[in-house]
Amino acid sequence: MNYFKTAILLAAMTALFSIVGLAIGGQTGMLIAFVIAIGMNFFSYWNADKMVLRMHGARQVDARSAPEYYGIIEELASNAGLPMPKVYIMENDQPNAFATGRNPEHAAVAATTGLLGMLTREEIAGVMAHELGHIKNRDILIMTLTATLAGAIGMLAQFGMFFGGRSSDGERTNPIVLIAMMFLAPMAAGLVQMAISRSREYQADRLGAQICGHPLWLANALKKISGMAAHIPNEAAEANPASAHMFIINPLSGQNMDNLFSTHPDTQNRINALVAMADEMGLGVERNMVETKIRLRPWDSEKDDPTVIPPRKPKGPWG
């Protein structure tokens, strides 16, 4: 089913790419844009993961260079019945993470230094289990291709704005059309991203909770990093907003139009769903925790915040 969704997505993004080409250069521009889009589809299938990792300055690590982090991924991947993905670290203070690749056999997970430094081992496990959930659901191909194609659409629209364009009869394109396309094309690409991302986050949350064995590990992590991410800028994500939907928490500051349409569901709703899942598993949570609003700030400590859900040790990957 995911292969069908991928085909629909690629068709939609290719059509959008062609429409931008039509607005910039008429029928000739549309044909050129269509050919470029087809070429990008093939190139992105094999190389989009490397492009996204490079965008965010990710470096690969192994059991020797990052033993604890690598060990967490190794244990979770075994728990999920997945091949061991490549493991990366991004030098970034914002706590965040994402998964990428074209299939479980060619997958990678990446976490920021901020996430690894601010969360407990259990919370890191919850976050990375969520990313492995994306891999197991085969979401990563769609998410990665969307990031590269949406970015290309935005660049094409800006190219038309700054360098102008001509229709097939040689006349210059109306500048108003170019200005409109500069704003509307990235917005349309963002809507496509939003349409495919929100439901996938809930699915990955639930599967990730099953993989790590405790929904509250991820609930606690989401509670912490959502507040911190809003206060700590992610310059790589701001420079490449088309990849924002890949992260577990929206990495954008919201100070520009790139964040007009959020690709992530409300964090409190995600926490509520995880708390309800913990109840279903008989892990025991106070009922009033469900209604607790997120208010943890980067300068608050977990000890000082009475609304942090206390993690309990279940029979999970840590014994």
Q: Which residues are catalytic?
A: 131
Residue tagged 């299939």 (tokens) = 103
Q: HSE-up of 129 (CA within 13 Å, CB side)?
A: 32
CB 129 within 8 A of CB 149: no
Q: Which residue do the tokens 């769903």 mark?
A: 273
Identify the bridge partners of residue 88 per DSSP, sorted by sequence position: 60, 110
d(CA 68, CA 141): 27
Q: How far apart are CA 43 and CA 266, in angstroms?
A: 34
CB atoms within 10 A of CB 105: 10
CA 16 to mean position of chain CA atoms: 21
- Cα–Cα distance measured from residue 158 to residue 165, given in angstroms and rounded to the nearest whole number: 11
CA-to-CA distance for 28 and 37, rounded, in angstroms?
14
50, 133, 68, 65 alpha-carbon torsion, rounded to 10°: -10
